[in-house]
Amino acid sequence: MPGVDAADEFETIERLFRPLAHPEWGRGLIDDVAALPSRPGYDLILTKDAMVEGVHFLPDDPLDTVARKLLRVNLSDLAAKGAEPFGYLLACFWPEASGWLEREAFAAGLAEDQVKFGVHLLGGDTVVTPGPASFSLTALGWVPHGRAVARAGAQPGDLIVVTGMIGDGILGLKAARGELGLEDERVAALTAHYRTPEPRVDFALAVREHAAAALDVSDGLIADMGHMASASGVGILIDLEKLPLSRAATAWFETRVDPVAALTELATGGDDYEIVMAVPPAAVEGLKRAADASHLRLTVLGAATQGEGVTVRHGGEVVPVKTTGWRHG
Amino acid sequence: MPGVDAADEFETIERLFRPLAHPEWGRGLIDDVAALPSRPGYDLILTKDAMVEGVHFLPDDPLDTVARKLLRVNLSDLAAKGAEPFGYLLACFWPEASGWLEREAFAAGLAEDQVKFGVHLLGGDTVVTPGPASFSLTALGWVPHGRAVARAGAQPGDLIVVTGMIGDGILGLKAARGELGLEDERVAALTAHYRTPEPRVDFALAVREHAAAALDVSDGLIADMGHMASASGVGILIDLEKLPLSRAATAWFETRVDPVAALTELATGGDDYEIVMAVPPAAVEGLKRAADASHLRLTVLGAATQGEGVTVRHGGEVVPVKTTGWRHG
């Protein structure tokens, strides 16, 4: 509808987003389009995630971290496919009551992570909504032609390997909500992980070189393993006691009376943004060397098998897992 | 946040969106990413527009037409750059109360226009919102390398030429709101134009071959001419009495007491989705032949000049235009 909050959206683009634009391909955000030269020998990888206040982030989350998380969850998707990110398009739905402070914080968060991850804004749209703050981001990356790592591709006998730690996503959500009775330092670390997870961008090349299948842990480790199992036509076996836990997660775990329930909660929580891979046994050594080189922890959690679905074990006993933590957000 | 309206979003993708996916590049929507092979010699053109219920479309608008309009306004952006569309990514924010009927209608609208315009869904996200229905679409098209038509590029002496009719966008909005006292047939035609404007996709090649600068009329003809003038560093002169009016717009115009005010309203209303171009005099003949071949009306509205800004005239007299109908949506 013409004329809605007109100058504001124009100024938002002019003052906050234009400085973030790719110097060449974003056309200074003047043209409502980006123009991207082809890169022969490479495929363009595109992914899109949306976030809504009160659903995917908390009303209390600072908007600079919301912007960074939005960018990072998309970069995480690219990294899990073995792609090198370079840019993004952004749609902002600002609540009617939102002012310059919120928008400036949001743009500042983007600016910070653009430098950190070497990406630029290519275009987008900014509108006003009577609803909650909402955002949608389309991230773009390059991968050598045909080398994008799919969810399909796991073979029986492949090892299931994950980067970093599992469980800080769901514990971070609890921490940000004030639901965790841990020391302040732990709560701060977990909240920070929830608000600005670390996408494994630097590990994309290793994923591409060594993994047969991969995806990032966003819906929850077990749900995501379910996606891989179903896309690959294999079964996947996970040993819960192998879950790599951060120091904060370990501190939480030690307060729980039921260790299996606690580990299951961490394995179904989601929002971890680690990369979980199916790796042929012969390729594990190379993957580990790459992880060592970037000081990244790797953990073998189980294996792909004949069959279907995800089997979760603890101490060799099968654990029934009811909720798989599925979501699409 | 894990688990929000889980199965519903999964089923939405599985049942409604997977059938719309590009057979190859969309990876069956299984991978959360699209993988697009490079097309050497071509630039990829990307554009993104967002729409919110109650802001950019009416709560009464059928959701199949909302989907089609969302796709079409993006295709219109591509056409004005001379690009040939092939695909899109989509983010849907569904209200908590929305059910299958709404989602099915939305997907049916996309399916219809995918066939009409030869495009496919490449990926996206679908989430639930406590706010109004909102959508964001990133459209992709190809253009030979370096041949995207910019807003910048108009030279003094170029003619300002527009496709189709001007004013049906704003009159269509009035019609859809029940604010027009015209015959039913006129109201229906205008409402249809508002809900499913006709992007000039088939004219993209002609734009690329003949126009020095171009954009689509979305903010309002005069505001959009302001964008072109400022991007190109020229002035633009528009003669209001030359505005091409549809039969329905003519019927409305004849009911107005102040013809200049009426024409100004049509020239600032927006939502027309015609292509307005700066065309070197020597290129006008070629552009007209292309328009004749596709039975598309072309109208010379004025010219680019030395100077800056948009000058609007009627019968040779300068008309002061206060509202430029600017928006970004």
| Tens digit of each residue's pLDDT (9 = 90 or more) over A81-103 | 999 999 999 999 999 888 899 99
Rounded Cα distance between A58 and A65, Å, is: 11
Report, as an integer, the average pLDDT of A216-242. Answer: 96
- Is B56 annotated to bind ligand? yes
Q: Using an 8 Å CB-CB cutoff, list chain A residues near B1.
A: 55-56, 173, 327, 329
- Looking at CA atoms only, how far is residue B220 from chain A in angstroms? 8
| pLDDT tens, residue by residue, B73-98 | 999 999 999 999 999 999 999 998 88
**Interface subset of B 147-206, CB within 8 angstroms of A:** 148, 150-152, 170, 173
- Looking at CA atoms only, how far is residue A75 from chain B in angstroms? 11
| pLDDT tens, residue by residue, A12-66 | 888 889 889 888 887 777 777 889 999 999 999 999 999 999 999 999 999 999 9
Report, as an integer, the average pLDDT of A271-293. Answer: 97
Helix pair angle (A221-232, A259-269), 10° resolution: 60
| pLDDT tens, residue by residue, B94-133 | 998 888 999 999 999 999 999 999 999 999 999 999 999 9
Q: Does B34 touch chain A (CB under 8 A)?
A: yes
Rounded Cα distance between B168 and B160, Å, is: 19
pLDDT on residue B1: 35
Of residues A278, A243, A65, the one with CA closest to residue A167? A243
Rounded Cα distance between B126 and B16, Å, is: 11
Domains and CATH numbers, chain A: 6-144 (3.30.1330.10), 159-318 (3.90.650.10)
Render the burial of B28-40: b for 16+ CB within 10 Å, e for the rest.
ebbbbbbbbebee
Asked if the Cβ–Cβ distance from B50 to A91 is below 8 Å, we say yes
pLDDT on residue A323: 52
Report, as an integer, the average pLDDT of A131-137. Answer: 97
- Looking at CA atoms only, how far is residue A274 from chain B in angstroms? 15
Tokens standing for residue A250: 């370990």
Alpha helices of chain B — where are they, by DSSP H?
6-11, 63-80, 100-117, 168-176, 184-195, 204-210, 221-232, 247-253, 259-269, 284-293
With a cut of 70, which residues of chain B have pLDDT below it?
1-7, 323-329
Rounded Cα distance between B28 and B122, Å, is: 8
Name the residue facing A327 among B6, B131, B148 (closest C-beta).
B6
Burial bucket for residue A68 (CB in 10 Å: 0-12, 13-18, 19+): buried
**Interface subset of B 277-316, CB within 8 angstroms of A:** none
Mean pLDDT, chain A, whole residue set: 92
pLDDT on residue A173: 95
Neighbour tally for A263: CB within 10 Å: 24
pLDDT on residue B328: 36
Report, as an integer, the average pLDDT of A162-190. Answer: 94
Rounded Cα distance between B248 and B157, Å, is: 33
Is A49 in contact with A74 (CB distance < 8 Å)? yes
Rounded Cα distance between A266 and A199, Å, is: 18
Asked if the Cβ–Cβ distance from B9 to A269 is below 8 Å, we say no
pLDDT on residue A13: 86
Task: Tell me how far apart the terminal alpha carbons of chain B are, to the nearest angstrom.
Answer: 28
Bridging pattern class, strands B309-314 and B235-239: parallel
Can you name the residues that pair with B125 across neighbouring β-strands? B91
Asked if the Cβ–Cβ distance from A77 to B32 is below 8 Å, we say yes
Report, as an integer, the average pLDDT of A111-115. Answer: 97
Q: Using an 8 Å CB-CB cutoff, list chain B residues near A131.
A: 52, 93, 129-132, 134
